[in-house]
Amino acid sequence: MKAALIDPRDQTAQVDDPTYRVYFWAGDGAAKEEWELVETDLREVLAWIPTRSDGRPHSLWAVTSIGADVTLIRLEGMDLDAGVRAWPAWAQEVRR
């Protein structure tokens, strides 16, 4: 991890009611169950994941939208659809 002090004046927007997506994969990485969570905060999402995972690996994403364009920001886990070479070096498979 790298950490640096920042100047918060570069911020141009803020989202106070984030949307999250959680993807659960079968053990072979093939089957996927996809959820979108709203009206919640990160603490509650992290507590919810083990209640639905059944030990399956998952990834957690924040959702940001500009018009019709949806962008996902990885918060935890990996995109098993992408393949190992696309993952950041520090990304890990997560099971809860």
Report whether 78 contacts 92 (CB < 8 A).
yes
Rounded to two decimals, what is the model's pTM? Answer: 0.79
String of DSSP letters for 22-70? EEEE-TTS--EEEEEE-S--HHHHHHHHHHHHTT-EEEEEEEEEETTEE
For the stretch 28-86, pLDDT in tens is 666 689 999 999 999 999 999 999 998 888 899 999 988 899 999 989 887 766 665 66
Q: How many CB atoms lie within 10 A of CB 15?
A: 10
Residues 23 and 25: their CA atoms lie apart, in Å, by 7
